[in-house]
Amino acid sequence: MSLQIRTFPLGVFETNAYLLTNEETGESIVIDPGFEPAPLLEALAGKQVVAILLTHAHLDHIGGLSAVRALTKAPVYIHPLEQSWLTDPRLNGSALFGVTAPVVCDPAEYELADGQELALAGLTIKVLHTPGHSPGSCSFVIGQHCFGGDVLFANSIGRTDLPGGDYETLMASIQDKLFELDDETIVYPGHGPKTTIDREKTYNPYVTGMLR
């Protein structure tokens, strides 16, 4: 597999959108298109995008969804617990923070399930339901690459003070799902630099004390 991964920190929240391209098939996948998606849209010119995957539906991860959808005509995938967040600005947070105009998107075409394997763009994508930051947060694992949204960061963890967040649930997702991945797995978070499972097990001050 020859997988090209490009990162686009978008908008005032600097949310990482990811453009994955299987160089063998020429097909692409977009993960979490955030606000002010112009750099991502430019990169999508001429790309055959077969899917848009959402780790979760907070406003900063879906701010550019409608624009990417309009350009690519690609179907959207989300966990069923956050399907309604796409259409409700109160649930996705855009009606609460006052930073942006309310975000309203069309419903996703497909809903995700824990343990599901997606066959997209010639890739096998394992879906892990990793709630805690939000009820429907999912992580997408492709070989030794994990796109985890706002669950685990380099030296940090996702916030749990937003509606639907829960600290104990988040910590269980990290330990029981993400930390069961190979130590060499590269984690691509929703914000900030990439990291590895081994690095976070060893150095992350929020989780090192909880390891069994």
Q: What is the DSSP string of 106-129?
A: PPPSEE--TT-EEEETTEEEEEEE
Number of domains, the chain:
1
Which pTM value belongs to this model? 0.96
Write the pLDDT tens digit of every residue in 71-118.
Answer: 999 999 999 999 999 999 999 999 887 778 899 999 999 999 999 999
CATH number, domain of 143, equals 3.60.15.10
Query: Given 3-state DSSP classes, what are the helix, strand and coil percentages for the chain, each rounded to the nearest 5?
Result: 25, 30, 45
Domain of residue 172 covers: 3-210
- Rounded mean pLDDT of 8-25? 97
Nearest alpha-carbon partner for 149 in 9, 16, 11: 16
So what's the pLDDT on residue 210?
A: 65
CA gyration radius, the chain:
16
- Residue 195 scores a pLDDT above 90: yes
pLDDT of residue 1 exceeding 90, the answer is no
